[in-house]
Structure 1
């Protein structure tokens, strides 16, 4: 199968995940770029940031229009994560590929377990604690910078389990966090972006953007609790595969 077809197929799936789940795009993009398209781990994390940033902006517009974005909470998360994301991005190139892959798998697995164990958030208004939101946001920013992920697969469980947002609001709000954190991490990798294979990354992005619109429509038809469990099971599967590969 050609690289173009693989890029289009993987991009569509990742866009669907971002649009429906508010995360999961980067946790899928990195292994897709490594195992399907032959990118090295550092190149894959940089390409993933480009793909997820552009796709998240598209999905954010749709969710924001429907009132699913908690802007204050998202901006607190994002602002706290900018510095750590930039620092993590600068450090990423110094970390061995095997360690980077294993760390990615462990973080994804921990987030999945937390989501499976958490209870559905209560309906109605939720009081956001600024200090708590900022501290969690800083941690997400650091993970974004080092692992080359948008942070949505961590932001969604944090917004649901730590701050108590409803799943639909967490999905929309996480897209704001993803966009800002990814842009901050990319700022430290500007020198590596020009070396990406844009014949692969370009179609990947296009398919992901289109897929995000379908994902948004899917999120309107499936309950928040079901979305949370689908997201968690997906993360566990990807984490297990990557950890096994890293330990070989």
Structure 2
């Protein structure tokens, strides 16, 4: 199978996940770039951020049109992660490749475990919003995005539900705002690393992911959310095991 077809296929899967679940797809982008398209871990995390930024912004637009984005609260949540995202992005370029691979494997496993857990109940009344905790989680998500090139939506969605008392649809849409902002902040510190990337593969990958995000939004309205989460969780667990084995060999 040619590299172009692999890039298009992987991009479509990433976009479907981001559009349908508000997270999880970006965790698949980096392993696809490494193991299917031959990118180094450092190049893959930078390319992953480019793909995640474009795809998340597209999915954000679709969710915003449906009225599922809480702009004020989402902006404040994202703002807490901007500086950590930028600092972590700069640090990531100096880490050994096996360390990046192992760290990514752990995050992929955590993402799968998060998806397999029941979705926390959302309550918009009678629950106290904790701004300090929200800021701490936002900062942690920013650092995760900057270091590993993932959006962190698999953590942002449950955090928005449990900490900020969002209903599930609003949490999914608002998480895309957080992902887009953090990814842009991290990319600003990696601009020098983008020069040597294979744009002939990143371009089609990104295009397929953007189109997939629109399909994912429609898929979420037709297919059970828990079923989608279990399918993507199974894929992520497989990816995590493969990457951890590769880092240890």
Pair in the same fold by TM > 0.5: yes
Deviation at 1:46? 0.4
- The residue that corresponds to 2:22 in the other structure is 22
Are 1:141 and 2:145 matched, yes or no?
A: no
- The residue that corresponds to 2:172 in the other structure is 171
Structure-1 separation of matches of 2:51 and 2:226: 27
**C-alpha distance 15-97 of structure 1, shift in aligned 2 (>3 A):** same
Structure-2 separation of matches of 1:179 and 1:32: 20
- The residue that corresponds to 2:121 in the other structure is 121
- The residue that corresponds to 2:68 in the other structure is 68
The number of aligned residues is: 248
Which stretch of the first structure deviates more once superposed, 169-178 or 125-134?
Answer: 125-134
CA root-mean-square deviation: 1.9
Secondary structure of 1:220 counterpart: helix
Structure-1 separation of matches of 2:113 and 2:192: 36
* Unaligned 5+ runs, structure 1: none
Task: Please give the residue correspondences for 1:193-212 in structure 2 after superposition, counting only pairs within 5 Å.
Answer: 193-212=194-213
The C-alpha deviation readout for 1:206-244, integer Å capped at 9, x for no partner, is 111111100000111234444444444443332222212
TM-score (normalised: structure 1): 0.92
Structure-2 separation of matches of 1:72 and 1:222: 30
Structure-1 separation of matches of 2:248 and 2:153: 26
- The residue that corresponds to 1:216 in the other structure is 217
Secondary structure of 2:222 counterpart: coil
Which stretch of the first structure deviates more once superposed, 227-236 or 197-206?
Answer: 227-236
* Unaligned 5+ runs, structure 2: none
Structure-1 separation of matches of 2:231 and 2:128: 27
Contact 2:119 2:158 (C-alpha < 8 Å) held by counterparts = no
TM-score (normalised: structure 2): 0.92
Task: Please give the residue correspondences for 1:1-248 in structure 2 after superposition, counting only pairs within 5 Å.
Answer: 1-125=1-125, 128-248=129-249
Contact 2:120 2:158 (C-alpha < 8 Å) held by counterparts = no
Structure-2 separation of matches of 1:232 and 1:73: 28
**C-alpha distance 153-120 of structure 1, shift in aligned 2 (>3 A):** closer
Which stretch of the first structure deviates more once superposed, 47-56 or 122-131?
Answer: 122-131
